[in-house]
Amino acid sequence: MLTPHAIAALNAEHATSDPKAILRAAFAQWPGAELSFSGAEDVVLIELASKLLPRVNAFTLDTGRLHPETYQFIERVRVHYPLDLDVLSPDAAQLQAFVREKGLFSFYEDGHEACCGIRKVAPLRRKLATVDAWISGQRRDQSPTRADVPLFEIDAAFSTPDHQLIKINPLANWSSADVWNYIRLFDVPYNSLHDRGFISIGCEPCTRAIGPNQHEREGRWWWEEATIKECGLHKRPPQS
Ligand code: SF4
């Protein structure tokens, strides 16, 4: 079990490290750490991890509501890298009961939490119970809810009294421009929806293209407040 003090020391040690060095340190300390894969940032991390490991372990959430382009992108990444990819599905009985009661578009009426809870958070919770550490592509400049994302953290949302879970965010210090410069420089595969004005891509009914000067998260759950635009995967306790 790492103490908050030890986590603070790791963050201080790597405050100016590049993402590859952070990944190297993460795999040295948690060899079973798995990458969470959905967006452009995550493929940058897979690319970097593939330079450090013979095979990379990653998982992705198949909510059943993704764009066809996103499924094609997932498969392209799966075959492009030496990747062992777990595609996580929602619990069929739980989902069937939910849809029977609330239909297929209840999130427009009463918010996305219940649907995300079944399609994303529960499968993720089952997966994270099997690992000691996971790696996400969160960046601080992605949204108001991510402005203070650290490089290393104890995952307060998914740790339990018997199981401490560490979360590593190697791209926390990177900007969107850094990510896209890397993608172009190293010819990293990306979701073709990005060429049609989509920036932050989630499920098809909850994602839309954005216009010039709009923030990237404005294309997600656009009917909700910016400060609650998280699907439960990256919830963090209030920071002092
Ligand atoms: S993003 Fe939308 S469709 Fe996808 S799980 Fe959340 S509420 Fe459901």
Residue type, 160: T
| Mean pLDDT within 93-112 | 97
DSSP H helical segments within the chain, as ranges?
Answer: 4-13, 19-29, 40-50, 68-80, 92-102, 107-110, 113-116, 122-128, 176-185
User: What confidence category does residue 1 fall into, taking pLDDT thresholds of 50, 70 and 90?
Assistant: confident
Q: Which of 71, 4, 78 is nearest to 35 (CA)?
A: 78
Q: 82: domain range?
A: 4-191
| Mean pLDDT within 76-105 | 98
Please tell me the residue having the least CA distance from ligand 1 atom 7: 112
Whether 127 is covered by a domain: the verdict is yes
Arithmetic mean of pLDDT over the chain: 93
- β-pairing, 34-36 vs 133-135, is parallel
Whether 98 is covered by a domain: the verdict is yes
Q: Within 13 A of 40's CA, how many CA atoms are on the CB side?
A: 26
Q: Identify the CATH number of the domain in which residue 93 sits.
A: 3.40.50.620
pLDDT at 196 over 50: yes
Report yes or no: 54 and 81 within 8 Å, Cβ to Cβ: no
Told to judge if 203 belongs to the known catalytic residues of this protein, a careful annotator would answer no
pLDDT at 235 over 90: no
Atom of ligand 1 nearest to the CA of 113: 7
Whether 8 is covered by a domain: the verdict is yes
Whether 218 is covered by a domain: the verdict is no
Question: Considering the chain, what percentage of its residues have pLDDT values greater than 90?
Answer: 82
CA distances from 68 to 25, 191, 202 (A): 36, 10, 12
Residue 121 Cβ < 6 Å to ligand 1? no
Residue 220 Cβ < 6 Å to ligand 1? no
Give the pLDDT confidence score for residue 183 in this predicted structure. Answer: 97
Structural domain count of the chain: 1
Whether 233 is covered by a domain: the verdict is no
Give the pLDDT confidence score for residue 212 in this predicted structure. Answer: 82
Residue 112 Cβ < 6 Å to ligand 1? yes
Whether 39 is covered by a domain: the verdict is yes
pTM across the whole model: 0.91
Sign for the CA dihedral angle at 8, 9, 10, 15 comes to positive
Residue 58 Cβ < 6 Å to ligand 1? no
| Mean pLDDT within 188-196 | 96
Of the residues 70, 104, 107, which should be mutated to test ligand 1's pocket, given the most ligand atoms within 8 Å of the CB? 107
Instruction: Give residue 231 CA to ligand 1 midpoint distance, Å.
Output: 8
Give the pLDDT confidence score for residue 32 in this predicted structure. Answer: 97
Whether 71 is covered by a domain: the verdict is yes
Per-residue pLDDT tens digits for 28-71? 999 999 999 999 999 999 999 999 999 999 999 999 999 999 99
Whether 224 is covered by a domain: the verdict is no
